[in-house]
Structure 1
Amino acid sequence: MIIMLSVGHACVDVYQGAVASLVPFFVAERAYSYAAVSGIVLAASLLSSVAQPLFGVLTDRWAMPWLLPVSTILGGLGIALSGLSGSYAVTLVFVAVSGVGVAAYHPESARVARLVSEGSHSAMGWFSLGGSLGFAAAPLMVTAVVTSGGLHLSPLLVLPALAGSVLCLPVLRTLEKTGHGGSSTAVATGADDTVSFMKLSLAVVCRSVVFVGLSTFISLYARQRLGGGAAVGTTALFVLYLGGAVGSVLGGSLANRWDRVAVARWSYLVTVAAVAGIVFIPGPAIYVFVALTSAGLYVPFSLQVTLGQDYLPTRVGTAGGITLGLTVSIGGLASPLIGSVADATSLRTALTPLIVMPALSWLLFRTLPEPTAPKPMATARANVVTVEG
């Protein structure tokens, strides 16, 4: 069952990666500026940043498994329609619709995954891996579709959403049979550490600025640095997303040996050097630094979500919604600024400040304690939100 949920997770997260994957094609076919395409990324992030914490609060109170197929379809439909209209405003609306669908999916799917896995860290790691692989598949899928016939073929991009929604159906039937398909559940008990949670949230924001900024512009930057066509940029974006799959698995393994705060702190220190390599080291080595950056950003990702839940043990859905949604999506707010600087100067100049962001995350993690995980009631395990969106 967890494998089915993992594949469904991939079918949804492919649409998070698809937004950045469409950027070079919007530039090529519609002559959008850097600032304009970063606005499209912002549209996907903005509503998601508000919606996902709200859905997290709702999953603290009620089980809503019907959201899985509905949100999957919504996420795919928005991206599928985004290439049909030449209107910039209409494109923004469709991309925003997709962002809401993705936001609605994650808190409830993570609750269900936690339920069927009975709290297993390795099972939840597989679920998280699905999302990372979905990200990685996005540039390949978008490039295959759009290069073969232009943006007007974008309706074909709805196919993963259709597959993902079908995969949700046996999961819903299983939940019905086991009596876990409806009503509210209890939350874990313990004292909330709001100060640590706020520091953690700031660290996630800094991490998000780096990831969203690179997702938006790494394809264009790689083509500038290396020359060549769309394949050069697509490869860079694929490596950025694929490295997330490696980091997701590695983070859980490292956390079994050392505490989560220490693992996250060292990961961000490595990421500082890796981002600097992307910006300043010439030649094909850029792919190596992209991979290191991606792994460095994703090793702490799921650890940050569980840390947030342990800092707010009485509001785990809200904590998951904030760490997965609000703080992550806030990174999209920086994209228009990066795009404006790139329009006025160069992409290299605009990307250089991203080196500072993981350093700030590292400094914040130096002030965080490793919490003692609360012992939730049996019914509370169904309510914990733990993995990426």
Structure 2
Amino acid sequence: MRRNTSILLLAVGHACVDIYQGAVAALIPFFVAERDYTYAVASGIVLAASLLSSVAQPLFGALTDRWAMPWLLPVSTLLGGVGIALSGLSGSYGLTLFFVAVSGIGVAAYHPESARVARQAGEGSHSAMSWFSLGGNIGFALAPLVVSAVIGHGSLDWTPALVLPALAGAAVCVPVLRMLARPRTGAAKTKVPRGADDVASFVKLSLAVVCRSIVFTGLSTFISLHAQQRMQGSTTAGTVALFLLFLGGAFGSVLGGFLAGRYDRVLVCRWSYLLSIAAVTGVICVPGPAVFLCVALTSAGLYVPFSLQVTLGQDYLPSRIGTASGVTLGLTVGIGGLVSPLLGHLADSTTLQAALTPLIAMPALSWLLLRTLPEPTAPGTRTATPEPVAARQDA
């Protein structure tokens, strides 16, 4: 009961934080409409959110490998919300980039520590990690709806109202951290030697996650505008497409945890990327309402491997779980944001459909990289008793 409650609260907190990751993409059409940004300029906002986040997450992960910092969960949640809340108040592009970057740092600080805490709370369970990831996916899915509800009938001046999920997320962090701080009977600190790390496999996995990140970030940045074009300029079509892209991740994460209980995680990831190749092709090429089905399939195909790749990374680097989480959740994911401005420039010089076409190759590259990966046989935390947050001291 204590484990289930902890995972549930962590999932809710994760949802509140990831609203702000999804909010960046959801705000793009409003920035374009109200400030006449070009595709390239608008995609720079996504870059600001992802660049600092991608660099900062491994740094925060390395810190959490040395010291437990559970206080980061509520503090970083508030930071992520405040940045987005302030992003629409100034017409200055520089200040907009700054506030979005502040939100990105908050998101970066949250994920490595929360992944470590979720692994501890779930006692190394793939299913528990998938439910934790589900919370984030729900937050992503809710982001366009929340942004549309707050700003859709007003203007960017309403962005301060977007701080409310952060307040809720910070509040639910407190009881779960108190529960995990209580020592459990028989709990002991277990140190995994560096020799247990499989660095080569971790690097290949990270490259596969980079390819996944490129296609997902590219689609999340431009899917609203692409769907509007495919549906004769309907703004509702853009909101629905972005919602489906994020909502399919909720289904994919739970399905991934279920499949990992029956098959090897690496095998599940391979088949998911094969599905994604066909689905992404459909998103870009299929006309009319069928594009929404392709968006949903793309989301599921890209999110089935998501939580599995987090636990794979932790199992490949069992002595550095925080670093592994920071890389798989941060650095590799953030690199996708670096590609968005290139897609924006290409869309400005050609068409948006032409600019998105190269994304079809990304899940294929992920599949090729995963073909050579082994399934870890001795994950670091499946054989060791989880360590209480309060018990961790300076290394």
Q: TM-score, normalised by structure 2?
A: 0.92
Query: In structure 1, what is the equivalent of residue 121 of structure 2?
Result: 116
Task: Give the Cα–Cα distance (whole angstroms) in 2 for the partners of residues 284 and 254 of structure 1.
Answer: 30
Query: In structure 1, what is the equivalent of residue 220 of structure 2?
Result: 215
Unaligned runs of 5+ in 1: 384-389
Task: Give the Cα–Cα distance (whole angstroms) in 2 for the partners of residues 381 and 364 of structure 1.
Answer: 33
Give the CA deviation at 1:179: 8.3
Q: Is the 8 A contact 2:55 2:330 kept in 1?
A: yes
The answer on 1:188 being equivalent to 2:200 is no
Q: Is the 8 A contact 1:197 1:308 kept in 2?
A: yes
Q: Is the 8 A contact 1:187 1:315 kept in 2?
A: no
Query: In structure 2, what is the equivalent of residue 15 of structure 1?
Result: 20
SS in 2 for 1:207: helix
Q: Is the 8 A contact 2:126 2:308 kept in 1?
A: no
**Once structures 1 and 2 are overlaid, which stretch shifts more, 134-143 or 50-59?**
50-59
Query: In structure 2, what is the equivalent of residue 387 of structure 1?
Result: none
Query: In structure 1, what is the equivalent of residue 300 of structure 2?
Result: 295
Give the CA deviation at 1:305: 1.4
Query: In structure 2, what is the equivalent of residue 308 of structure 1?
Result: 313
% same residue? 72
Deviations 1:11-30 (CA, angstroms, capped at 9, x unpaired):
00000000000000000000
Task: Give the Cα–Cα distance (whole angstroms) in 2 for the partners of residues 179 and 259 of structure 1.
Answer: 31
Query: In structure 1, what is the equivalent of residue 392 of structure 2?
Result: none
Query: In structure 2, what is the equivalent of residue 345 of structure 1?
Result: 350
Matches within 5 A, 1:64-83: 64-83=69-88
Task: Give the Cα–Cα distance (whole angstroms) in 1 for the partners of residues 63 and 370 of structure 2.
Answer: 29
Q: Aligned letter for 2:339?
A: A
Structure 1 residues 187, 352: closer, same or farther in 2, change over 3 A?
A: farther
Task: Give the Cα–Cα distance (whole angstroms) in 1 for the partners of residues 322 and 388 of structure 2.
Answer: 10
Q: Aligned letter for 1:297?
A: L
Q: Aligned letter for 2:259?
A: L
The answer on 1:103 being equivalent to 2:91 is no
Task: Give the Cα–Cα distance (whole angstroms) in 2 for the partners of residues 100 and 10 of structure 1.
Answer: 17
For residue 161 of structure 1, the aligned residue among 160, 166, 170 is 166
Structure 1 residues 211, 163: closer, same or farther in 2, change over 3 A?
A: same
Q: Is the 8 A contact 1:219 1:233 kept in 2?
A: yes
Q: Aligned letter for 2:160?
A: P
Unaligned runs of 5+ in 2: 390-395
SS in 2 for 1:65: coil
**Once structures 1 and 2 are overlaid, which stretch shifts more, 341-350 or 372-381?**
372-381
Q: TM-score, normalised by structure 1?
A: 0.94
Query: In structure 2, what is the equivalent of residue 227 of structure 1?
Result: 232
Matches within 5 A, 1:366-377: 366-376=371-381
Give the CA deviation at 1:196: 1.5
Task: Give the Cα–Cα distance (whole angstroms) in 2 for the partners of residues 287 and 152 of structure 1.
Answer: 31
Task: Give the Cα–Cα distance (whole angstroms) in 1 for the partners of residues 378 and 257 of structure 2.
Answer: 15
Query: In structure 2, what is the equivalent of residue 85 of structure 1?
Result: 90
Q: Aligned letter for 1:166?
A: A
Deviations 1:114-135 (CA, angstroms, capped at 9, x unpaired):
2233333333222111110000
Aligned residues: 380
SS in 2 for 1:299: helix
SS in 2 for 1:149: coil
Task: Give the Cα–Cα distance (whole angstroms) in 2 for the partners of residues 375 and 202 of structure 1.
Answer: 22
The answer on 1:6 being equivalent to 2:11 is yes
For residue 280 of structure 2, the aligned residue among 262, 271, 275 is 275
Task: Give the Cα–Cα distance (whole angstroms) in 2 for the partners of residues 127 and 187 of structure 1.
Answer: 24
For residue 94 of structure 1, the aligned residue among 95, 99, 108 is 99
Query: In structure 2, what is the equivalent of residue 333 of structure 1?
Result: 338
Q: Aligned letter for 2:343?
A: I
Q: Is the 8 A contact 2:126 2:260 kept in 1?
A: no
Give the CA deviation at 1:236: 0.1
Task: Give the Cα–Cα distance (whole angstroms) in 1 for the partners of residues 371 and 74 of structure 2.
Answer: 40
